[in-house]
């Protein structure tokens, strides 16, 4: 039998969860970029950089296009 569906979340909870997910993705990409840089793997670095830029753009669009000055 399938588990029951999770209880519905409010708009604020859903928005906060999505923002947290996007911010975590950016942090993961930054870590991967650092690892590729240390390994001197320029091909992998360029690929990860492209993915990180896409995630950052998605976060900016999600937040209404405003840019954040804080460190992500």
In this structure, is residue 2 part of a structural domain? no
In this structure, is residue 68 part of a structural domain? no
- Per the structure, how many domains does the chain have? 1
What is the pLDDT at residue 57? 85
In this structure, is residue 29 part of a structural domain? yes
In this structure, is residue 69 part of a structural domain? no
pLDDT tens digits, 9-38: 788 888 888 889 888 988 888 888 888 878
What is the pLDDT at residue 72? 47
User: How much is the pTM?
Assistant: 0.58
DSSP type of residue 4: P
| Residue 58: pLDDT over 70 | yes
User: Between the CA atoms of 21, 23, 29 and 33, what dihedral angle is there, to the nearest 10 degrees?
Assistant: -170
Per-residue pLDDT band for 1 (boundaries 50, 70, 90) equals low
* Structural domain harbouring 23: 12-62
| Residue 6: pLDDT over 80 | no
């Amino acid at each position: 039998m399938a588990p029951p569906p999770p209880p519905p979340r409010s708009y604020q909870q859903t928005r906060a969860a999505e923002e947290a997910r996007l911010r975590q993705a950016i942090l993961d990409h930054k870590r991967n970029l650092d690892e590729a840089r240390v390994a001197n793997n320029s091909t992998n670095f360029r690929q990860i950089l492209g993915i990180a830029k896409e995630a950052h753009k998605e976060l900016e669009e999600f937040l209404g296009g405003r840019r954040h000055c804080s460190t992500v």
